[in-house]
Amino acid sequence: MLGVIFWGILFGIVYYLGKKNLRGSILLGALVFSHWLLDLLTHRPDLQLFPWSDYKVGLGLWNSFLGTVIVEGLIFALGVFIFYKVCNLQSKSKIILFWSLVIFLAAVYVMNLFGPPPPSEEPIAIVGLSQWLLIAWVYWIDRAPRSLTC
User: What's the predicted TM-score (pTM) here?
Assistant: 0.70
Q: How many domains is the chain built from?
A: 2
Closest CA to 4 of 23, 27, 32: 32
- Asked if 56 and 112 sit in the same domain, the reply is no
Give average pLDDT by consecutive 10-residue segment, the chain, 150 residues. Answer: 91 93 92 90 85 86 90 92 82 86 89 76 77 80 54
Instruction: Tell me what pLDDT residue 103 has.
Output: 94
* Domain with 144 in it: 88-150
- Asked if 57 and 112 sit in the same domain, the reply is no
3-state secondary structure 95-131: HHHHHHHHHHHHHHHHHHHHCCCCCCHHHHHHHHHHC
Q: Is 56 within a domain?
A: yes
Alpha helices in the chain (DSSP H): 2-19, 22-42, 65-86, 92-114, 121-130, 132-143
Q: Is 72 within a domain?
A: no
The distance of Cα 100 from the centroid of its chain, to the nearest Å, equals: 16
Q: Is 27 within a domain?
A: yes
